Amino acid sequence: MFYTARHKSCDKVSKYIIMNKIFVPLFVFVFLVGILRAQKIKQPFLEKTNQSSLSAEAISISFSYAYKFNKKAIFGFQAQFGAGIRFLLNNPTFNHLSDQSNESHKCKVKTVTNSYIEMLKFQLFYRLTISKCFYLDVGPYATWGIGSFDARVGGRSLGIELSGYSTRSIFFMGLRFQGSYVFIEYRENFDNNYFGLFLTPVVLGLNF
């Protein structure tokens, strides 16, 4: 059992390395194209009717698009692909199934892991403009493929995400905060559901 878990863990690390080789060069290419295109645009980002963004966190890429109906009505969506790492802020209790026993026992999540990986995420959001160089995105989201570095953990999550970004010229920097109900499949079809608070501390990207 221990060997199997280690074998799965190695497979998972290999997948991250492969994804790194695919997504990082793709992001660099699109990033450079965006810079060249954005140099021709003099209109401030938050004043545009069509607002598109490309961002990176860990080894994942996110694309966001928002449409500005008026100054107070900006709505859009975000799609994320890759391996986005986020950190657990609270420490909920879940049913832990150990390697030595088939029986579960109550355990704090952080005793197993304090970081999670998102493989695929989709969000609908409302954009609130705070100033000419700062804005917030808030809305519901769903994640598929959430898991930890423990190869036996995987699942889905549904919740609300709040993001804050500071933008200068075509570049922006920010963070993301999530409150979500996590549906974890722990080991062999052993489900654990709990509410988690998550933080992605650094998000970098460009607007175009």
Using one digit for the tens of pLDDT, what is the confidence trace for 96-135? 666 555 666 677 777 666 677 788 899 999 999 998 889 9
pLDDT band at 142 (very low <50, low <70, confident <90, very high): very high
Mean pLDDT of 59-79: 93
Is the pLDDT at 68 greater than 80? The verdict is: yes
How many residues are recorded in the chain?
208
Is the pLDDT at 193 greater than 70? The verdict is: yes
pLDDT digits (tens, 9 = 90+) for 144-191: 877 665 544 567 889 999 999 999 888 999 999 999 988 876 555 556
- For residue 173 the two structure tokens come to 């920097």
Of residues 78 and 120, the one with the higher pLDDT is 78
Of residues 115 and 205, the one with the higher pLDDT is 205
Please state the domain count of the chain.
Answer: 1
pLDDT of residue 151: 45
Degrees to nearest 5, angle at CA 82 with 165 and 205 = 25
Q: Which residues contact 93 (CB under 8 A, 6 or more apart)?
A: 106, 107, 108, 109, 194
pLDDT of residue 34: 52
pLDDT of residue 188: 55
Is the pLDDT at 22 greater than 80? The verdict is: no
pLDDT of residue 119: 83
Q: Return mean pLDDT, the chain.
A: 77
Q: Which residues contact 172 (CB under 8 A, 6 or more apart)?
A: 53, 55, 165, 166, 204, 205, 206, 207
Predicted structure pTM score? 0.74
Cβ atoms of 105 and 96 within 8 Å: the answer is yes
Domain residues for the domain of 26 are 2-207
Beta bridge partners of 70: 73
pLDDT digits (tens, 9 = 90+) for 80-100: 988 888 888 888 877 666 655
Is the pLDDT at 24 greater than 90? The verdict is: no
